[in-house]
Amino acid sequence: MRDTRSNDRVNDPEPDETLRSDADHLTTRRLPDSFALPINQPPTQPMKVPTAGAIDCDIHPSVPSIKALLPYMSDQWRDTIAQRGVHELETIAYPENAPLTARPDWRPVQGRPAADVATIQDQALEPFATSFAICNCLYGVQLLMGEDMAAAFAHAVNSWMVANFLDQDPRLRASIVIPTQDVNLAVAEIERRAEDQRFVSVLMLVMDENPLGRRVYWPIYAAAARYGLPICVHAGSAYKHPVTSVGWPSYYAEDYAAQAPAFHNLVSSLICEGVFAKFPDLKVVLAESGITWLPAHLWRLTKFWRGLRAEIPWVDKTPTEVAREHIRLTLQPVDAPADAKPLERIMDHFGSDDMVLFSTDYPHWQFDGDAALPDGMSVSLARKIMVENPKNTYPRLK
Amino acid sequence: MPKYVVASTMDIPPGARKLVEVRGRLIVIFNLNGEYFGLLNRCPHQGGSLCDGRLVGLIEAGSEPGEYSYSRAGEVVRCPWHGWEFDIRTGQSRCEPDRITSTQYQVAVETGEVVTNGPFFAETFDVSIEQEYVVIEV
């Protein structure tokens, strides 16, 4: 009963084949090299496509401690934080000892990973020979309940970023941390930082208090569009809600995997609420989202949109087409099996070479050695991902 | 293409529709304020019966998200299965009009006199010269 004009079948993946190649892969997989190496010694692996000149769209300097932020706060907030005994804004997004939080050879003997510019130069900039690296600081600003305190912390993190990183190495760029708790204060922080061209995007978390397509956030998008700043939506939660829609999981593995469904919801929200109809020049970068889930989610959204588009007539082309125009994803973590074939198929499913942006996700442990580029990417696609796509996404990197 | 007489105009008043069978094809005839249109009674998605679909208007975006425009009441049919909308005048889907279309047939109104003189096929009923008839090319 299917008509060939419907592309439902054309787009259907062949699940059996995919599963088979996945299973084959498991039987031949070798352990990551770092399993055999002592901590703090970088493993050696041949690099297939050199990353020299690449733009790394997602690295994570750590705030070493709350003390590092105090110089960038007003006297009142400095005193308040001391009086109240406010401790570190550590979140459960990246627990200190979780393997993911820092690769063994990037984990310092003491203190937090990636906490100073020299470390980032040695571990992130030099080994990959990147031309630029965009710092997305994941300090727990978005978790605070107090709007004014959140604004004070966001401001302090951005000032700390300027003084300790952007002023220290010309290759570093950063996303503006904003207090999404109060949209007006968030816009004010964007306006304060926008003049500094080294801030190249605006940072939000995928699980905020509301779905990010909601109009309450639109002044943020208006400001970002005004200043030529894409929105970088990073994995993580403000923990105003459980990380799954039916409640809290028990284990970290569940929590980290649950980022992907949160990104599904984000993509639906941004498209259906009309963010891209309202802000046609806006691009949204999904950072640390993984990449394999997006084509399948867009098939699903497009399938249902065909019958439900009258609810959202501002979505006047398929959600897949809207996403190709406006959504970008950072490369790491690549969540495909490690052999080339499944990834090649997935890249085909995107139907576009424009959407993926190179990232190492430093210092998170997503790969070993300098193998930031997975197998299954042609040299030309790799170059596009490393240079051309980031430049087309971040106007300030041109 | 041969023309078939499929109904008297009195059978399909404005806003009504009628399912007819011509050479083994089920075709739904719509009357939009005196203009007649024919679509294959088979949604190009999965074959739902368009004759059983709800007649709706055309909902389009207003000046920004959250604002709607509504026009052409009764000129769009929604497939009863998955809600895909088809423009009765063109057969085009609203979701992807250039790619997904419902098969359309040319429909005309002819007097009984013209119909009687032929060449038309009238398989199922008698023709009176006092009436007008819906004629379809298949």
Q: Name the amino acid, one letter, at A365.
A: W
Q: In B, which residues are within 8 Å of A273 by CB distance?
A: 65
Distance CA B127, CA A123 (A): 89
Touching check for B82 and chain A: CB below 8 Å?
A: yes
Name which residue leads in pLDDT, B39 or A90: B39
- Per-residue pLDDT for chain A (398 aa), expressed as one digit of tens each? 344 344 443 333 343 333 333 333 333 334 344 434 444 544 444 446 789 999 999 999 999 999 999 999 999 999 999 999 998 898 889 998 999 999 999 999 999 999 999 999 999 999 999 999 999 999 999 999 999 999 999 999 999 999 999 999 999 999 999 999 999 999 999 999 999 999 999 999 999 999 999 999 999 999 999 999 999 999 999 999 999 999 999 999 999 999 999 999 999 999 999 999 999 999 999 999 999 999 999 999 999 999 999 999 999 999 999 999 999 999 999 998 888 899 989 999 999 999 999 999 999 999 999 999 998 888 889 999 999 999 999 999 97
Domain annotation for chain A: domains and CATH numbers? 53-393 (3.20.20.140)
CA distance A179 to chain B (A): 25
Q: Do A313 and B68 touch (CB under 8 A)?
A: yes
- Chain B: residue whose CA lies nearest to A8: B45
Nearest to A377 by CA among A348, A394, A33: A348
User: Is the full-model pTM beyond 0.90?
Assistant: no
CA distance B118 to chain A (A): 35
Using alpha carbons, list the distances in angstroms from residue A194 to A107, A155, A175, A243.
33, 13, 10, 32
Domain B3-137 homologous superfamily, CATH: Rieske [2Fe-2S] iron-sulphur domain (2.102.10.10)
Nearest to A292 by CA among A339, A254, A329: A329
Query: Is residue B43's pLDDT more than 80?
Result: yes
* Beta-strand runs (E) in A11-114: 55-59
CA distance B3 to chain A (A): 26
C-beta neighbour count of A122 within 10 angstroms: 12
Q: Which of A1, A4, A6, A8 to mutate to test the interface with B (most CBs of B within 10 A)?
A: A6
Distance CA B21, CA B1 (A): 16
* Beta-strand runs (E) in chain A: 55-59, 132-135, 172-177, 199-207, 231-237, 284-287, 327-330, 356-357
Q: Is residue B100 a contact partner of residue B94, using CB atoms and an 8 Å limit? A: no
CA distance B88 to chain A (A): 16
Using alpha carbons, list the distances in angstroms from residue B7 to A137, A389, B31.
72, 60, 12
Q: Do A5 and B46 touch (CB under 8 A)?
A: no
Nearest to B20 by CA among B51, B57, B60: B51
Q: In B, which residues are within 8 Å of A313 by CB distance?
A: 59-61, 68
Residues 110..129 of B with a Cβ closer than 8 Å to A: which?
A: none
Distance CA A43, CA A24 (A): 26
Q: Do A310 and B56 touch (CB under 8 A)?
A: yes
